[in-house]
Amino acid sequence: MTIMIPAWVNGDLQPVEKLAAHQRGLRHKAVSVFVMDGNRVLIQRRALSKYHTPGLWANTCCTHPDWGEDAASCATRRLREELGITGLTCDHRGQVEYRADVGGGLIEHEVVELFLARATADLTIRPDPSEVMETRWVAADVLAEEVAQHPERFTPWLRIYLAEYGDLIFAPAG
């Protein structure tokens, strides 16, 4: 199945095949979700079958919207598809942009809509094994410490989010 994502080509937003967008390092739309229970964040370890960054820890959910799909709908859809999570409200936290080498000659150059969803410890999580091999709750400050001590265990985008955008993501809603 060919997945088309919104990417900028010669200044115009166009549908581009997902792998091709990463191979060419095209700037493209993305969505990232952080599910929180108090000060704890739900993180996921990417399935070994993923074509980039397999086995690395990432934020709760990250993806690309389908062509024509709005970011909030995408965030809700991917929480359900990747983790079996339903019934949460995703609050928009802002937009950020980053560029990172993700290995294998692939580049993520993303314009990301960030979302935060509040949950409780009894949240039902049913990961899709083709997407996620493991999940865990971790305090935000402990996660930052783990990333600093062992950056190789975490995706480049999670490292960037924590280093550059932590205040935006984790700040109390206002």
Residue 173 within any structural domain of the chain: no
Reported as a pLDDT band with limits 50, 70 and 90, residue 1 is: low
| Spatial CB neighbours of 82, under 8 Å, sequence gap ≥ 6 | 44, 61, 63, 127, 128, 131, 132
Q: How far apart are CA 110 and CA 86, in angstroms?
A: 26
pTM above 0.85, yes or no: yes
**Catalytic-labelled residue, pool 74, 82, 90, 110:** 110
Number of domains in the chain: 1
**What range does the domain containing 94 cover?**
4-168
- Which are the contacts of 60, defined by CB distance < 8 A and separation ≥ 6? 33, 34, 35, 41, 42, 43, 44, 79, 83, 117
The pLDDT value recorded for residue 3 is 84
Answer for the pair 42, 35: CB distance below 8 angstroms, yes or no. yes
Catalytic site includes residue 131: no
* pLDDT tens string 30-73: 999 999 999 999 999 999 999 899 999 999 999 999 989 999 99
62 is an active site residue: yes
- The model's pLDDT over 94-118, given as tens digits with 9 standing for 90+, comes to 999 999 999 899 999 999 999 999 9
User: Is residue 174 situated within a structural domain?
Assistant: no
- Which one of 61, 62, 74, 90 is the catalytic residue? 62
Confirm whether 123 is domain-assigned.
yes
pLDDT for 174: 54
Percent of the chain with pLDDT over 90: 88
CATH number at residue 95: 3.90.79.10
